[in-house]
Amino acid sequence: MATGFVCGTRRRPKCVQCGGRADLECDWKVPGRKRGTCDAPICSRCTTSPAPEKDLCPDHAAAWQRWKEARSA
């Protein structure tokens, strides 16, 4: 019996917002995660960018907005 591997079958990540091809990952800090960030796949159309080279998924963009509003109150 022969055993083999199939190469090139890796699925491309899809944006959590629109389902399109994701080319970014969420950079929101998440304590306890191995990489330290959310890493949700997002596309360049659906990202919120609070700073250069930083991208947020929709959930964390909303959390960031609430944080900003709380600071200004």
Tens-level pLDDT at each residue, the chain (73 residues): 566 555 655 688 999 999 999 999 999 999 988 889 999 999 999 999 999 999 999 999 999 999 999 998 7
Residues 10 and 6: their CA atoms lie apart, in Å, by 10
14 backbone dihedrals φ, ψ, rounded to 5° = -110, 145
**Other Cβ atoms within 10 Å of 61 Cβ, number:** 20
Half-sphere exposure of 45 (CA within 13 A, CB side): 9
Burial class from Cβ neighbours inside 10 Å (0-12, 13-18, 19+) for residue 16 reads middle
pTM of the model: 0.79
